Structure 1
Amino acid sequence: MCLEYCLNWYDSSHTVKNGKIHNGKQNFKCRDCGRQFVQDPQNKIIDQTTKTLIDKLMLEKIPLAGIARVAGVSETWLQSYVNAKYQNVPRQVNVRAKKKGRLTIECDEMWSFVGKKDNKQWIWLALDVETREIVGVYVGERSRDGARGLWDALPAVYRQCAVSYTDFWSAYNQVFPSKRHHSVGKESGKTSYIERFNCTLRQRVSRLVRKTLSFSKKLENHIGAIWYFIHHYNAALLV
């Protein structure tokens, strides 16, 4: 009997209005079984123009709920779209070819977290001083393994030739070649470019803001969001 009422909601006293769905259509609820439904439900086709807009909004400091409102899509569909997008982001840097010779990089590590602040995920970054490209990325612990991950992420020409400037974190000394590594303080100005990029990253990626409701719940999405922005950042330098 309840199914009959649900199917004939328009002349049933067993249904009540229950807010609206993401596209503004009236939502109804059955008092007996709790089933929710809308009149004339339709599967919305998300066109490429909307997807292109979403791709751009993902590069700004906007939470997914905000993107869903702006683009007029459901949060469920958007989360699925973002998951697939981040999963397919390449996990290696795409930079201009460099000849062997004197190269200089600045390196730094930036705090972030996934799920809860006790689950710290440090973002290790290396920046080419001349081109301003991000040439190394690693997300993990703030330990020797993290420094090793950053070193392994560098293109071969940087591992062979680059002089590196870092802060005084001891992990760098354990991994980077001592003859080409210099530990310096902020007052030296030798790490100013990478520190400025850290600020840019926090300002553009909402899940990296220190006090945020947009924090990552999945490590894969956290890493994917960082790589997604870095690929965009490096590509913009070529324009």
Structure 2
Amino acid sequence: MTPMNKLDREQRARILHLLCEGSSIRAVTRLTGASKNTVTKLLVDAGTACAAYQDRVLRNLPCKRVQVDEIWSFIYAKQANVATAKAAGPDSGDVWTWTALCADTKLMVSFFIGDRTGTSARIFLDDLKERLAGRIQLTSDGHRAYVEAVDEVFGRDVDYGILQKIYGTTIESERRYSPAKCIGAEKELVKGCPDPAHVSTSYVERSNLTIRMHTRRFTRLTNAFSKKIENHACAVALHCMYYNFVRIHKTLKVTPAMAANVTNRLWEIGDVVDVLEAWEAKK
């Protein structure tokens, strides 16, 4: 097994690349020979460095249309099983990753790890607002926590619409892992003058699918779920860094960070290692 202080840049880059492409920690240990603790520590350090870097550079963004949504996961055990779990900590149970996506550049503008309450909605939207250069059209789903949070954070300085999907009851939807069929959607213009044609959550929902496919701990029905909320947050931060700066968007033909003028070049995974090493030097 390879101890952390023996990892060179190439080994670090390979491990981070595997993590960003959906490999579990145990799979990475088998592919690279690094120990589980080594991989976990690298994930935490890289995630912390990536979160700090994006917090600094994702500012004054030229976004005009932003879509927000939440993606479910859990820490240690699902909420219903926390009471009987052997070593459940205070952060165990359901956890929600709030995401904000620019509809034009596909940039992941902001993300927040928390519960699904109005308090989390306000913290999330407050962070989002601080990163924007001007007025935006904002779209969310019908989760009511957004309505009060948008009013409190943005006031009148937003064009806000809700896309409320309508689901039907079918035989398939009664099965355990079959989602209900969407039979329609209603658009509600809540604040300002949102363009009804752009009241949509399609892009952010597709981005949430990308999170599930590229971050192993979001994969359903596996044992790769997060055991600590800190590691969960670091994995999300690392994914957002990879998604924003390294992974070329198939439609845009550039990375979201390039489309939003956050960077003028295509990053490689080695550039993420550079961000980590710069953070380590300051630390």
TM-score, normalised relative to structure 1: 0.74
Q: Which residue is equivalent to 1:192?
A: 202
Change in 2 beyond 3 A, CA 1:112/1:149: same
Tell me, yes or no, if structure 1 residue 182 matches structure 2 residue 157: no
AA of the residue aligned to 1:235: F
Higher relative contact order (CA 8 A, sep 6+): 2
Q: Which residue is equivalent to 1:133?
A: 107
Q: Which residue is equivalent to 1:30?
A: none
Q: Which structure 2 residues correspond to residues 162-173 of structure 1 after superposition, within 5 A?
A: 162-173=136-147
Q: Which residue is equivalent to 1:53?
A: 14
AA of the residue aligned to 2:121: A
Q: Please tell me whether the aligned partners of residues 67 and 101 of structure 2 are also in contact (alpha carbons under 8 angstroms).
A: yes
Q: Please tell me whether the aligned partners of residues 43 and 235 of structure 2 are also in contact (alpha carbons under 8 angstroms).
A: no
Q: Which structure 2 residues correspond to residues 69-148 of structure 1 after superposition, within 5 A?
A: 69-91=30-52, 92-93=54-55, 94-95=57-58, 97-99=60-62, 103-118=64-79, 119-148=93-122
Change in 2 beyond 3 A, CA 1:224/1:157: closer
AA of the residue aligned to 1:130: D
Q: Which runs of 5+ in 2 are unaligned?
A: 80-92, 166-184, 188-198, 247-254, 259-265, 267-283
Find the structure with the greater CA-based Rg: 1
Aligned-partner Cα distance in 1 for 2:97–2:213: 15
Q: Please tell me whether the aligned partners of residues 135 and 155 of structure 1 are also in contact (alpha carbons under 8 angstroms).
A: no
Q: Which structure 2 residues correspond to residues 16-31 of structure 1 after superposition, within 5 A?
A: none
- The CA RMSD over aligned residues, in Å, is 2.6
TM-score, normalised relative to structure 2: 0.63
Tell me, yes or no, if structure 1 residue 220 matches structure 2 residue 236: no
Q: Which residue is equivalent to 2:127?
A: 153
Aligned length: 198
Please list the CA deviations of residues 4-35 of structure 1 after superposition, one character each: whole Å capped at 9, or x if unmatched: xxxxxxxxxxxxxxxxxx59xxxxxxxxxxxx
Change in 2 beyond 3 A, CA 1:190/1:225: same
Aligned-partner Cα distance in 2 for 1:43–1:216: 21
Aligned-partner Cα distance in 2 for 1:122–1:139: 6
Aligned-partner Cα distance in 2 for 1:89–1:127: 18
Tell me, yes or no, if structure 1 residue 64 matches structure 2 residue 30: no
Aligned-partner Cα distance in 2 for 1:154–1:80: 29
Aligned-partner Cα distance in 1 for 2:110–2:61: 14
AA of the residue aligned to 1:85: A
Q: Which residue is equivalent to 1:234?
A: 244
Identity %: 26
Please list the CA deviations of residues 179-236 of structure 1 after superposition, one character each: whole Å capped at 9, or x if unmatched: 5221113446711000000101000000011212111111111001001111121113
Give the Å deviation of 1:82: 2.5
Aligned-partner Cα distance in 1 for 2:243–2:131: 21
Q: Which residue is equivalent to 1:210?
A: 220
Change in 2 beyond 3 A, CA 1:43/1:124: closer
Q: Which runs of 5+ in 1 are unaligned?
A: 1-21, 24-41
Change in 2 beyond 3 A, CA 1:67/1:96: same
Q: Please tell me whether the aligned partners of residues 47 and 236 of structure 2 are also in contact (alpha carbons under 8 angstroms).
A: no
Aligned-partner Cα distance in 2 for 1:43–1:208: 26
Change in 2 beyond 3 A, CA 1:225/1:157: closer
